[in-house]
Each structure stands twice: as structure tokens, then as C-alpha cells.
A and B are shown apart, each in its own frame.
Chain A
Amino acid sequence: MKKIFNLSVVLLFVMAGCQKKDEYLLNRTPDERLTDALAQYQNILTSAQYGWKVIVYPKGLEGVYGIKSAFSYFMQFKDANTVTQLSDFDTTTASVPKTSGYRLKALQRPSIEFDTYGYIHLPCDPDPAISKSPVASEGGGYGWGSDFDFAFADNKAPAQLGDTIRLVGNFNSSPAIMVRATKAEYDAFYAQGLKNAMVLDKILNYFKKITVGSTVFESTPGGYRTITFKYLDGSNNLNTIVSPPYYLTPNSISFVSPFTVNGLVIKSIDNLSFNAATNTATCTINGVTSTIAGAIASIKTDLTAPQRWFAALPTNFNKAWRSDAGFHVNGVDDAYGVKTIPSFYQYWYWYNAISSTVDYFGPMVISGGSLANATYYSRVKSGPTFTVDGRAIFALSANTGTFPTSVTNTTNLFYNTTGFYFVQVDNVTYDMVSATDAKSWIRWWHN
């Protein structure tokens, strides 16, 4: 009997030990909670009547290349898995809305995937010709190291989210931030606000003077998404500072990190407003009302630059200065269309190519798999006239062959009697800027 009793007690424990009690968090299974979370996120995204301001900080190039950047978007989400975007990527994306797909997906965290091609994919595109990637020379394949597939990263329940949502990219771990837009902001984005912030492209002069209070800076064309600032220091030397990459919000330029130009710490340029009649813009820098205006000459012309440019020719590779795309005129790259010349390779200024006193100015083409001069070109008297105020004026020897319009226009501009200023960009690059109005220039480089 005692044995049975003992056994019974043991059995009792065993039975009780088998009892299952699934203690689910919040009394619901993970799948139920995930489904619910995605529905709530979807609701939050689509319920924003005036859309979302989104800024993505690509992280993929930070580790290896130390390149920081930021891209700004305006997005409106619809229930039908579509999102309409504007972006500060270029003038088209800033002004023409594009609709593409998105969907919410349960990956390791609830995630939002922009699943068909929209503006947010441009900095992610592995083709450097599309992404304008700063590491294009690596052969492409990385874009800006940005993301289009993000996890919700706030670590709180969707219901507790306010007007700000933080995201982290699932591929490159790029952080992004979404802020609910107001009616005013919505209107600003659709009133070409991003395009209005691209003021520096609207002032067509090569030299732009930025006046902040009593200080004058100069800006010259630089790389994509950076601004080149120049200023005169105490000993009257021209210094160059290249800004960190910027992103645009309506009527404002913001830099990913503050930087210092001649003692002035700049974080953003705000309240940009362009006046087409005067070809100038007003803005606020550090709270100070400032102006941006085109200029015909630099605040300090490099007087010996033309001579240095010409003197470098005999030692340049192939004794030439080369340009990838003819003249930039009135805001248009390759305005004369030399790139449309069949088999166009580069435009060359070729030292002593004709004789010891005559140089070659014309297109180079790929012919039969190798580099050759075109059948039409201009013969330039070797050695331009150098003026004391830092210009070079070229003189025609003779023209050869029948010019297409692109070459005629290029040649006419080249021999203009006011000549050109030269701006040294780096050791192997010069910009040759028309001294007439500074609205035409060509970039020469050698390797």
C-alpha cells in the first residue's frame, strides 16, 4: 500500500510537471504581434496626410572610404503599395514626382522595402554613371553605399511612435529618419522647393561671390554634392575649402557636418531665394543675411596660371591637355554637343602637334580601335598672348577640314579676343574660364 502511495505521489509530480503554460508576451504569439505591428506601421505611413520628410545617411562608404553623405526625400505612401517621391538627387528628381512600389515585410525586424525603382534607389545604383558615386574610379558596384530596404529601429511599439520614425538599412546599415510633414512643408516640396535650393546651379557664372556680413567668399564649381569655398586669408592668399557633402530641404542647403571657412562655422545655408532679374540670391548663413551673386572674375585672379598651364604642355602625357566634354556654356554641360561627334573620345589642346609653332585644338576620336585626331581641327599658333591681368588669348593659324556645328561653336569661343582666365583645380586639372562673362568654361586635365 505504502508503495502505491509513494508511486502515486511521484506520479502526481510527474503529471503536474507536464503541465504546459505558454507564457506569450502580451498573451499573443509572435506571428500575431508581427502581423499587427506591420498593419500599424502601414497605417502610420499612409495616415500622414501631407507625407513624410525623409533623410538617408548612406553608411556603406564610411568604413573603407571615409565618405559621408546624405540624401533628402519627400514621400507619400498609399495603401496600394505605392509611394510617390521627390528627391534632392538632381533637378529632375527635385521637380518631377515619381511613383514606385514599397511593402512592409517581417524580416529580422519589421522592415520597409522600396521594392521597385524610385528616386531612393539612385544613390544605391551600382552603376556609377547613374549614382554619380564618388568611388566610381573603383570600377563601380557600390553607389553611395546607401539603402532602400530599412528596418524600423525605434525599439518601441508602433503605437508609441510620434511624428518621427527612425530606420536603419538592412544592407549597408544606413540610418534614416522620417518626419511627418506639415501642410506648409508639403506645399514647399511641391512648389519646387528642392529645386529652389539648387541656387548655385542657377547662377551661371563660374565665379560666385558669397557675402556674409562684411566677409566675402568665392565659390567655384566643384564635385557633386559639395560646395567649394575660397577666401583670402590675412596674407592675401586664396585658400580653398571643399565642404562636406550636403543635402537639400526646401530652400535650404544642409551639410552632413559643420565645417569652418575662415573662422566661420557653417552648418547650413537657409532661406535661399533666387532673383532671376538680378541673377543673384539671398540667403541666411549662421543667422546673417547674405547674398550670392555671379562674378566675372575671381576675388583674386591667379595671374600666372595661364603661363603654368601652357608651360606644362611639353611634359604632359602626349603633350596634351584633354577635356572629356567641350565647353560648359550658360549652365549647360557640353553645350555645343561635341560628345555627339561620331566616335568622340576627348577634346584636346595638343602641343606642337602640327609643327614646332602650331598646336592642335580639336576633337580626338577612336578610329579602328585606336586613338586618332579628327579629320577637322583648328591649328593654333603655339603660345597664346598672356595679359598682365592673368588672361590668355589664343590666335588662329588656320582651320583644317569641314567643321560640324559643334566644332565651329567651340572654335569661335576659343578664339574670342577677350581670352580666358585659368583656375588651377588640382595638380593635373585647370578650368579655362571665358573672361568675357565667366559663363563659359572648359575643364582641362592630363594624366
Chain B
Amino acid sequence: MKKIFQIVVAVALLSSLFISCKKDENGSLSTPPLGLGGDTWFATSIDKWVYDSLTVPFNIAAKYRWDAWELALDKTLVPPDTSKVIDVLGGVKRVGLQPYIDQTGSPMLIKKYAPKNFVLVGSPEYNYNGTITLGQAEGGTKITLYLINYFTRLKKDSANFKQMLHTIHHEFGHILHQNVMFTTAYKNITGGYTATWFNVADADARKQGFITAYAMAAPEEDFVEMVSSMLIGASNGPTGYDNYDKLLTQAGSTTSAGYLAIKAKEAIVVDYFAKTWGIDFYGLQTKCRAALAGYLQ
């Protein structure tokens, strides 16, 4: 009797093992979470252009469709107009990336170091202090370009486009010096870096030996501001966007301290590009300016 009881218990135990291991497969766990791997949509000619012109050759992505999580969540922003997207990105490619390829004779530098994500926004971003944001970059990988809906290839209205390129060259400069640092001698040319750089007007900064006010933020910012200003120019207050030579005239006479400081920085930038990356910087500058002039009408 006792044995029978034991057998019954053993069977019960065994069967309970099986029962408890059985999973109710009433929902398929093989379905991946929705949206995993990013949104998908019916590919348009723009998606194809981005893929063929930026993703395949340079491994660069450009997001033009609205994604709130890429942007400031508290700001009123709008997505870009599709009619502007290819013009903007084409300009970025031709004036922002191509000169490097032409100068080095190889796409490797861009493939390896160029910022990888572009996010496009139709409007400017209005800040609470009354200013507006025209371009923004994060961590050397993501660049947000605003004002896409205002884009035009007309030369007279090109300040926004130049600002975009300024941002791109600026960020690209950061990536380069983060890989190989420029000489520490650069930091000692002027000194006087400050967190409150925004209290200084660009023209005043030039008198003190900084090419833009933002260059006063830190030696690294100073360095990349020099790079982008020499390549594409910089904002010059209400009169618009001027190229490097014109900006330099605001630093003072050719014997003034400001002018000499900027010239000394220029020499280090040129030297850095030549020795570190094997790039003739003045040649690159010429190609950038030619590409810009060629892209505008």
C-alpha cells in the first residue's frame, strides 16, 4: 500500500514538473517590439538620394522626417519641407565634404571622421532669452541643421547656408583634434578664455585675437573656430557673413596685437593640417571657397 502511495506521489511530482514547465504560447514572443531598429516608411526619391549620396559613400545618415526625440522636447519646431532637403544636403556634401576629398585625393578622411548623423529641422529654434538657434552639434557625431525651409541658393540670402557649413566644419575640426591634438603652444598665444564669451561682440573679440566671440570659450573652440572661419567665413553681425580676410581687418592694423595673435593661430592651424593630416590648408581653403561660390547663384 505504502509503495503504491509512493508511486502515486512520484508520478504526481513528475507530472507537475512537466505542467509547470509548459509555457502558454498564446502570444508570440518572436514578434519584435514595434519600431525596433527605427521607423520605416515608403522610401521616396529623397531617401534614395540620401542613401546613394551620403550613406553608401560616407556612412552618413540624414533624418529629415519628424522625430521629436532628436530635438528639444520643450521647443516649438516643425519638420522640413521635402522640396528643400536635397538642396540642403547636396550643398552640405559639395561645400562641406567634397573639398576635403578633392584636397586629399581620397574619401578616406571623410569616411573615417566626418559627423555621421544629420537631423534636419524646418524652422529656427526660438530660445527663451530671445535668441534663435541656427545649428547645433552633439558629441561630434550628430549635427542638427535648422532653417531648412528658408534655404535658398541665392547668394544674397546665403547667410543661413554659410552658418550651416560653419557648424559642419567646426564639428569636423573637433573630431580631427580629438584624434590628434594640436600643439599646446596654441593655448598660450592669447590666453584669456572665458565661459562668458557671449558677452563679447565678435568685432571686439577680433581685436583681442579671437576670430569669433565663441572662440573665447576654450582653446579647442578657438582652434575649430579658426578652421571653420578660414574655410567658410563667419557671421559679421547685421552686415551678414564675411570671409576670413574681411574678418581679419576688424582685428586692427597688421601690427596690432589682435591681428598678430590671429595670424599666429592661423600658422598653427596650417601647420597642424600639413603635419598631422597631410593637407595643404590654403589649398583646402581655396577649394571650399570655390565650392561655395559654385553652389550659390
Q: Which residue numbers of A lie inside 8 Å of B, CB to CB? A: 1, 5, 8, 11-12, 15-16, 18-22, 24, 27-29, 31-32, 34-35, 38, 60, 79-82, 100-101, 103, 105-106, 113-117, 121, 124-127, 130, 139-143, 145, 148-149, 170-171, 369
Pick the contact of A127: B26, B29, B42, B124 (CB < 8 A).
B124
For A125, the chain B residues whose CB sits under 8 A away are 78, 122-123
3 nearest A-B pairs in the assembled complex, by CB-CB distance = A141-B126, A29-B27, A115-B66
Cβ–Cβ < 8 Å partners of A121 in chain B = 78-79, 122
Q: Is the interface of A mostly helix, strand, loop or mixed?
A: loop
Q: Are A148 and B34 in contact (CB under 8 A)?
A: no
CB < 8 Å neighbour of B20 from A18, A32, A148: A18
Contact B24 A20 (CB under 8 A): yes
Chain B residues near A106 (CB, 8 Å)? 34-35
5 A–B pairs (Cβ distance < 8 Å), ordered by A: A15-B19, A81-B42, A101-B44, A101-B79, A116-B79
Give the interface segment out of B9-17, B183-191, B260-268: B9-17
A114 and B66 CA atoms in complex are apart in Å by: 8
A81-B42, A127-B124 are known contacts. Are A27 and B27 too (CB-CB below 8 A)?
yes
A29–B122 CA distance with the chains assembled, in angstroms:
37
Is B20 a contact partner of A15 (Cβ separation < 8 A)?
yes
Residue in chain A with minimal CB distance to B66:
A115
Interchain CA distance A382-B80 in the complex, whole Å: 52
Contact A100 B13 (CB under 8 A): no
Interface centre among A27, A100, A125 (most CB of B within 10 A): A125
Residue in A18, A31, A140, A145 with the greatest tally of chain B CB atoms within 10 Å: A31
A22 touches B31 (CB 8 A): no
- Which residues on A sit within 8 Å (CB–CB) of B16? 12, 15-16
Chain B residue nearest in CB terms to A29:
B27
How many of chain B's residues touch chain A, expressed as a range?
A: 35 or more
CB-CB under 8 A for A126 and B20, given A105-B35, A113-B66, A149-B66: no
A396 to B204, CA, bound (A): 49
Interface centre among B2, B41, B79, B124 (most CB of A within 10 A): B79
Tell me, in angstroms, the Cα distance from A145 to B27 when the chains sit together. Answer: 41
A116 is contacted by which of B2, B75, B82, B126 (Cβ under 8 Å)? Answer: B82
Taking a contact as CB atoms under 8 Å apart, the answer to whether B80 and A117 are in contact is yes
Q: Is B68 touching A116 in the complex (CB atoms < 8 A)?
A: no
| Given A35-B31, A116-B82, A127-B124; 11 other pairs, CB 8 A cutoff | A5-B9, A12-B12, A15-B16, A19-B22, A20-B23, A22-B27, A82-B42, A101-B65, A106-B34, A121-B122, A149-B68
Q: Is the CB of A126 within 8 A of B75?
A: yes
B32: shortest Cβ distance to chain A, in Å? Answer: 7
Give CA–CA (A244, B161) in the complex, Å: 40
**For B12, B26, B127, which residue has the most chain A Cβ atoms within 10 angstroms?**
B26
